[in-house]
Structure 1
Amino acid sequence: MSRFLHTLALLLLVSKYVVSAPSCVLVLKDVAPCLGYLQGKGASPECCQGVNELSGHAKTKEDRAAICNCVKQALSSYKYDPKLIPLLPKKCGSNLELPPIDKDYDCSK
């Protein structure tokens, strides 16, 4: 998980130069507690809280693409099951729709 926090810190430094809403820093703060779930463990209450908060930031297609790209970048150095990503909002009672994001997923769709 320390590598994930390192990525989060790096994105925090760069975020003032990135024009996207929501920012990767916000997205990573919300999805960081979900890494365990994406690796086959249970979804924690903190994970579901983050998913529900993230749902409020996914208002437009551009917002959803930004979220997708941030998740794609953050998870690029981890082993995880991309098929679990679309299941996560349902598990947490959120109406957020997330695709099965992997390194090859086109977030502009």
Structure 2
Amino acid sequence: MTPRIQYVVVAFLFLVSTSATSVPSCGQVVSTLTPCLSYLQGKDPTPRCCSGVKALKTLATTKADRVAICTCGKQALATIKYDPKLLPALPSKCGIDLTGLSWEMCCNKAK
């Protein structure tokens, strides 16, 4: 292999390994849950909202993922007006189990 091809292969492997182990970004979490704002203000969850909750579940594969998602979610929720009583019911209203992830807990205690 030429040095240039070796460099490209090493760079590609680095990118793949980094993206496979990185936690979800706050931007990902917020954009995934943005369709749920109307639900948090008293309306029924929309299909887009439930798709976002389902996508969130796929992002939450490790404890580090769940801690990052929880931390970001709490920060985002602190900036909006919403009914906090509605939040715990959202996953079940969408038919999705988010065991191990709750906005009401200390995020470092995510399972």
TM-score (norm 2): 0.70
The C-alpha deviation readout for 1:37-60, integer Å capped at 9, x for no partner, is 112111011100000011001112
Number of the residue aligned with 2:43? 41
Ranges in structure 2 where 5+ consecutive residues have no aligned partner: 1-21
The alignment covers a number of residue pairs equal to 88
Number of the residue aligned with 2:102? 99
The C-alpha deviation readout for 1:6-64, integer Å capped at 9, x for no partner, is xxxxxxxxxxxxxx511111111110111111121110111000000110011122111
Contact 1:38–1:80 (CA under 8 A) maintained in structure 2: yes
Ranges in structure 1 where 5+ consecutive residues have no aligned partner: 1-19
Number of the residue aligned with 1:53? 55
TM-superposed CA distance for 1:100, in Å, is 4.0
Q: Distance in 2 between matches of 1:64 and 1:79?
A: 23
Instruction: Select the structure that is richer in helix.
Output: 2
Pairwise CA RMSD of aligned residues? 1.9
Runs of 4+ aligned structure 1 residues displaced above 3 Å come to: none
Q: Distance in 1 between matches of 2:75 and 2:50?
A: 21
Contact 2:39–2:45 (CA under 8 A) maintained in structure 1: yes
Q: Distance in 2 between matches of 1:72 and 1:44?
A: 21
**Greater gyration radius:** 2
TM-score (norm 1): 0.71
Contact 1:84–1:100 (CA under 8 A) maintained in structure 2: no
Identity %: 55
